Amino acid sequence: MRHCRKCTEVLIFLFALLFFLPVLFLIAGSVMGEDELLGCLGPVFGQGGGYARMAVFPSFPTIRPYVKVLLDTPEFFVMFWNSVKITAGILAGQMIFGTMAAWGLAKGSFPGRKQLLWVYIALMLMPFQVLMLSDYLVLKELGLLDSHWGLIWQGAFSAFPVFIMYRFFDGIPPEMMEAAELDGAGSFQIFRHIGLPLGRAGIFSAMVLGLLESWSMIEQPMTFLKTKSLWPLSILLPEIQEGKIGYAFAVSVLIFLPALLVFLTGQKYLEQGIEASSVKKGGN
């Protein structure tokens, strides 16, 4: 039994390592010189035959790519703070509008509530390319094209966080709300003092997932932002060229770090959310 368990752990570790290898390559590549990178990835750029390869440990490590990013590329920081602004705005909007929408769908009693939920789910399932044209026309009419507010408003009313938070709000026992009503609490007070604290896990889960999504979105900025000074960090990476490979790896690591930190911060709530939904399913 113990032996089987060990083997299972080793197998799982190996699989985990396999999934972790790209991150290892990313970090290793960010401290490699251009010559060494071209030697590994030359076939990708049409130099030499054979296949691309990657080394976990660089032969001649260097921090020149980071120096280039941090000192020689002020554009990186402009785009970084653009990403911060867009992401913060979207999360704030989702926090305000998404939570209330999810509470209303979970605990409301108005006609068509179920149908409205299905509409939300349908909207959530649609890819961006389907909604792109309608979004563009709406933003154009509102005069929000080529500005961060266009992206922020569009993300703030996203259906996905509503769906995540709905599941959590739906798990709150109605008896607690009834008890609060008997104590004289109004709807908003119930939402604020009972719904938000008890649905905290779901809210944080939605925020984490929302941040990961908005931090790395590419299609929306490329479609709705023409001015280069408004571009977020996610658009910087597609400019990988021969001679800038190390620089691209360093940028990727720096982009990856905030997402990692946020994930680590909200990991507990994500796990709680996944656990809670599975228990609820079993209970139902």
Partner 1 sequence: MRGNRIKKAGILFVIFMLCFTFVSRAAQSVTTAVVETKKAVSGKITHEISASGRIEAGSEFAVLIPEGLQVTEVCVEEGDDVAEGALLFMTAGNTKLARAREDFLSWERRASMDLSGLSDKYLQAYEDWQRYLAKTEGWYWKAEDDLQEDELELAVREKEYEYFNSCKEYFNDLAAAEKIRIGSLSGDAGRAESMAAKAQKVCQRLQEKLDTAKNEYWDYKRNRERSYQYTRKDDEKKYREALEKAIPEYQAAIEDYEDGLLTKIRAVEDSSTDNMDENGNVSSPVSGVVREIAVKEGAATPSSASAVIAVSSQKKQLRVQLGADMEKYLSAGDECIIKKYGASEEIRGQTITKLSYDEKDASLLDVTVEVHGEGLAVGDMVTVDFSRQSEQYPLVLPLDSIHIESGETYVLALKEREGILGKNLEAEKLSVKILEQNSDYAAVSSDGIADREIIVRTDRAVDAGSRVRQKVA
Footprint on this chain of partner 1 (rule: CB under 8 A) = 70-81, 227-229, 231, 257-258, 261-262, 264-265, 268
With respect to partner 1, which residue has the nearer C-beta, 83 or 220? 83
Strand partners, 273: none
Q: How many CB atoms lie within 10 A of CB 245?
A: 24
User: What DSSP state is assigned to residue 194?
Assistant: I
With respect to partner 1, which residue has the nearer C-beta, 76 or 168? 76
Place of tokens 């979105």: 217
Contact criterion met (CB below 8 Å) for 150 and 82:
no
With respect to partner 1, which residue has the nearer C-beta, 77 or 188? 77
Strand partners, 61: 32
* Least CB distance to partner 1 at residue 19 (A): 21
* Least CB distance to partner 1 at residue 238 (A): 13
With respect to partner 1, which residue has the nearer C-beta, 73 or 277? 73
With respect to partner 1, which residue has the nearer C-beta, 129 or 227? 227
Contact criterion met (CB below 8 Å) for 83 and 215:
yes
**Chain centre to alpha carbon of residue 284:** 30
User: What DSSP state is assigned to residue 32?
Assistant: B
* Least CB distance to partner 1 at residue 75 (A): 4
Residue 46 region, left (φ>0) first, then alpha (ψ -120 to 50), else beta?
left
The Cα 29–Cα 250 span in angstroms is 8
